[in-house]
Structure 1
Amino acid sequence: MKRSLSITASLVGAASLILLAGCTTDPSVENSAEEAPAETSESTDSTEWFDQELFDKQDEERGVTPEGPEDEPYLQMINAEMKDTSDFASDGAKKVCFANASISNPWRQTGWITMNEQLKVLQESGAISEMETRDAKDSDDTQIADIDYFIAEGNCDGFIISPNSTAAMTPAVERACETGKPVVVFDRGVETDCAVTFIHPIGGFAWGIDTAEFLIDNLEEGDKVIALRILPGVDVLEQRWAGAEKLFEEAGIEAVDYFSGGDPAEIKKIISDELAKGDVQGVWMDAGDGAVAAIEAFEDAGKEYPVMTGEDELSFLRKWKDTGLTALAPVYSNFQWRTPLLALEKIFDGEEVPAEWVLPQSPITDADLDEFLELNEGMPDGHYAKFGGENLPGYPKVWQDRQIP
């Protein structure tokens, strides 16, 4: 029986448009949000995305102390069930083939830079000879063709796949597994457990719980929250909102959600329209780099700043610091881009790896805001604070220069 690695995947067809599982729509970069006009109307009910079992699992995982090196979060794991990989053990440097959904936004670009710096380390150690990469540019059809190209080429010792969407990519992932070579899936899931390991942070419900609890703790019953969402139909994003919405309802918080497409102009319009109706005490976001536009809408209207959740993208962190907001930066751990290559290194050595490699996902709070701003001083606004590449050879210059391989 197949084990679904992503809940409600049959509804994820819209994800072929998406630039993230992670997380951003920085207007300074060309991205696929331009391919689909932003919806700015109030959204429909999201209860179809709520899964109590997964909600409870991720809620519990938030409190688990990860196993692994304290200073290497990309090697940590939560509640791991280990898988034997001895059948894949062999000597010599290996060629890796990477089918990537895209590098069309700053979250993915930050991870892509980090991944390539990790690759250099593994090439120098003799674990990996090269990584051939094909970029699907946010297209299901292109990524399916990319995976089939790698299979037909027949020169891959192992596969890494960051799926563009869940259901559409499942058959192609299964075909890669049928080659007998190890397959590592990360970031977004698919509807098969044929991969040796599936790598991801805790998940969307954990994000929703972290953010909703923060807002509830800092607001009063009856207060109004505007929820700004990117696009519908992506499991991780839908679960973020489904989890938060449940908690808002239970706490008596009035929460109204809109799809913005991540467009700063649309975000400002949504906030301005709501402020014209009355006071807004909170802002919730399922991705954070549009957060600065939301803050600016309050400034433009001459209103008090809201209690707010954004993300660990530096433009938000810097605006948070400058304004003195009551805020939280949830995280969809960008350092996960290192883990697939390190997992393949272990697999090629015949070492055990988790069947589902759950990485830590800890928000940035007011208590550690200054620490992360200092750690990332000199980085561009589109950089992600918890990128986890400080011990890689190109640090900090390649991230500062935004050298996209």
Structure 2
Amino acid sequence: MRSRTLKGAVVASAAALALLTSCSTDSSLDDPDAAGDPGGGESSSSEEWFVQADFDEQMEQMDATFEGDESEPWLQYIDGDMTDTSEFADDAGGKKVCFANASISNPWRQTGWITMNQQLEVLQESGVVSEMETRDAQDDDNTQIDDIDYFISEGNCDAFIISPNSTAALTPAVERACETGKPVVVFDRGVETDCATTFIHPIGGYAWGIATANFLSENLSEGDKVVALRILPGVDVLETRWAAAEKIFEENGIEAVDYFTGADPAEIKKIITDELAGGEVQGVWMDAGDGAVAAIEAFEDAGVDYPVMTGEDEMSFLRKWEDTGLNGLAPVYSNFQWRTPLLAVEKIFAGEEVPAEWVLPQVPITEGERADYLAANEGMPDGHYAKFGGEDLPGYPEVWQDRVIP
């Protein structure tokens, strides 16, 4: 399965892959226009990114039975091949973990980073982990490659955790980490090798696209118009979100026009305003929730009915959704996955099997669940993600409320 999910990545240019910033958005890029006009032009077709086998597989996984306790979704997984980790079993004391992180340059990654560090605190107190040395690549492939090579040459890492900045560029560095003979945990984005001890991720971009496009199609009529607001081109998990959605819109006779926005609220508002000036817009689709409020405000400014809309589980969208009463859905790219790599390390050093590909649940928030998530996350900042999964960790809720970023 891992090799198939990466087919789309190899068609992107090296420059586009270097912009693979996160599974959410990143508005901090110095020159977003270099990515291929994320500043507002209508995009080209996503056919080159669509892989039918991956679409079918992720659609099946959306209805799969997950192993493990539903109250701990960060430990759940879809049954499949397991990795024997008995060779790493060691009860001699706390181990040093070396984490090569792509970045913490956007709210999704910041929320996860906070959660990861609170999980680290638990494992340090229990004696499983002595320390986690982290190097932040700040969204740069070459920096992250150097970071991984630094850890390798340093020679005192008991385990590697890697959240790759991009797929193809980081593959050789991940393979070099594997060649050390130490366990390697890859999460969030994949690479083009199966050498890691485990690869951790939610179901994926197709699942996002399927859930959101089906929701819009079911709540709209044939011939209705949807404006799709996309962040960046060349980002595999974002491209597959749109590839799946575009397929479903076409099958249901929904007129969908898509734009790259660079996650700029002003650009988002301009796009919607211009579309409304040219006619009715019945739906809005987003490949990430940043800027959702700006899109909604454009409808308010125009004095027209709210659209049927999909955003994300970021608190700003959930709150605006509640305030407006619009017909919406909040897809997720499960932020709680940031806990899982450290818990995987715990299992590995206990000699327990771990999934070779650790596929985590990815379940949208519906209107019927919205109030519960709003109540559970009361007091959290707008950039917080509702399904962060840190309620049982030390420092809750203050660390997340105060955005204490290590």
How far 1:5 sits from its partner (Å)? 5.2
State how 1:42-81 maps to structure 2 within 5 Å.
42-81=42-81
Partner of 1:16: 18
Alignment pair present for 1:292 and 2:293: yes
Partner of 1:378: 379
Indicate the SS of the match to 2:364: coil
State how 1:170-249 maps to structure 2 within 5 Å.
170-249=171-250
State how 1:275-354 maps to structure 2 within 5 Å.
275-354=276-355
How far 1:83 sits from its partner (Å)? 1.3
Distance 2:134 2:283 in 1: 42
What TM-score results when the alignment is normalised by the length of structure 1? Answer: 0.97
Indicate the SS of the match to 1:144: helix
Distance 2:31 2:336 in 1: 28
State how 1:109-148 maps to structure 2 within 5 Å.
109-148=110-149
Structural RMSD (CA): 1.1
Indicate the SS of the match to 1:316: helix
Distance 1:346 1:292 in 2: 41
Alignment pair present for 1:35 and 2:37: no
How far 1:403 sits from its partner (Å)? 0.4
Quick one: which amino acid aligns to residue 115 of structure 1? M
How far 1:3 sits from its partner (Å)? 3.7
Contact 1:18 1:32 in 2 (8 A): no
Quick one: which amino acid aligns to residue 400 of structure 1? Q
Quick one: which amino acid aligns to residue 9 of structure 1? A
Distance 2:129 2:253 in 1: 54
Contact 1:5 1:191 in 2 (8 A): no
Alignment pair present for 1:397 and 2:398: yes
Indicate the SS of the match to 1:90: coil
Distance 1:70 1:232 in 2: 35
Contact 2:19 2:234 in 1 (8 A): no
Unmatched tracts of structure 1, length 5 or more: 26-30
Indicate the SS of the match to 2:284: strand
Distance 1:372 1:251 in 2: 31
How far 1:4 sits from its partner (Å)? 5.6
Q: In terms of mean alpha carbon deviation, does 59-68 or 321-330 score higher?
A: 59-68
- For each residue in 1:208-262, what CA deviation from the matched residue of structure 2 results, as whole angstroms up to 9, or x when unmatched? 0000000001000000000000000111000000000000000000000110111
Indicate the SS of the match to 1:367: helix
Contact 1:9 1:191 in 2 (8 A): no
Distance 1:169 1:4 in 2: 17
Alignment pair present for 1:149 and 2:145: no
Distance 1:9 1:49 in 2: 8
What TM-score results when the alignment is normalised by the length of structure 2? Answer: 0.96
Aligned-pair identity (%)? 74
How far 1:10 sits from its partner (Å)? 1.6
- For each residue in 1:48-77, what CA deviation from the matched residue of structure 2 results, as whole angstroms up to 9, or x when unmatched? 110110100000000112111121000000
Distance 1:203 1:96, change over 3 A: same
Unmatched tracts of structure 2, length 5 or more: none
Contact 1:188 1:200 in 2 (8 A): yes
Indicate the SS of the match to 2:44: coil
Partner of 1:167: 168
How far 1:6 sits from its partner (Å)? 2.2
Quick one: which amino acid aligns to residue 372 of structure 2? E
Contact 1:151 1:179 in 2 (8 A): yes
How far 1:9 sits from its partner (Å)? 2.0
Distance 2:60 2:72 in 1: 22
